[in-house]
Amino acid sequence: MSQQQLDKETPLLLSLQQKKARTPLPWCQFSIILFLQLTESLTSQVISPFTPQLIRDIGITDGDETSVGYYVGLMYSLFFAMQALTILHWSHISDHIGWKPVILTGLFGLSISMYCFGLSTTFSGLMLRFNHSVLP
């Protein structure tokens, strides 16, 4: 373009022949990682419709319907607070041992904690098991 004279008729973008070749990205690996990361958001949100009834059934509110939302909010707030506190830890581990073992460990921990969450019968058990799923 420096050899040509630039005027209002000169295209500013390079033509298709002059464009650089695209960087080959491993789209298959990216799609697998994105699919695995989708499971984390699904497990944290799929239980949303059931948690108010679960809090009622545990009996932590002693029949007070106005405090059900408080305990559900407390449970979710603690989950995301624990995520914020542990993300640097898991990223540091990922830098040392690689992302594949960290993601597989996270998926295994997530599946076990969600299974145990469904079997919990106390509020402290719910909090422990729901927040244990903060693995990567």
How confident is the model over 21-62, as pLDDT tens digits? 677 888 888 888 888 778 777 777 888 888 898 888 888 888
Let me know if residue 42 belongs to a domain.
no
Q: How far is CA 73 from CA 28, 47, 52, 67, 127, in A?
A: 37, 13, 10, 10, 11
Let me know if residue 62 belongs to a domain.
yes
- Residue 134, token pair as written in the block: 């903060």
Let me know if residue 74 belongs to a domain.
yes
Query: Kindly report the CA angle at 46 between 41 and 49, in degrees rounded to 5?
Result: 140
Q: What is the DSSP letter of 4?
A: S
Let me know if residue 9 belongs to a domain.
no
Let me know if residue 95 belongs to a domain.
yes
pLDDT band (50, 70, 90) for residue 1: very low
Total domains, the chain: 1
State residue 97's pLDDT score: 93
Residue 76's domain comprises: 50-132
Let me know if residue 7 belongs to a domain.
no
Compute the distance between CA of residue 132 and CA of residue 114 in angstroms, rounded to an integer.
Answer: 9
Let me know if residue 39 belongs to a domain.
no
Please give the average per-residue pLDDT across 99-121, as a whole number: 83
- pTM here? 0.64
Let me know if residue 45 belongs to a domain.
no
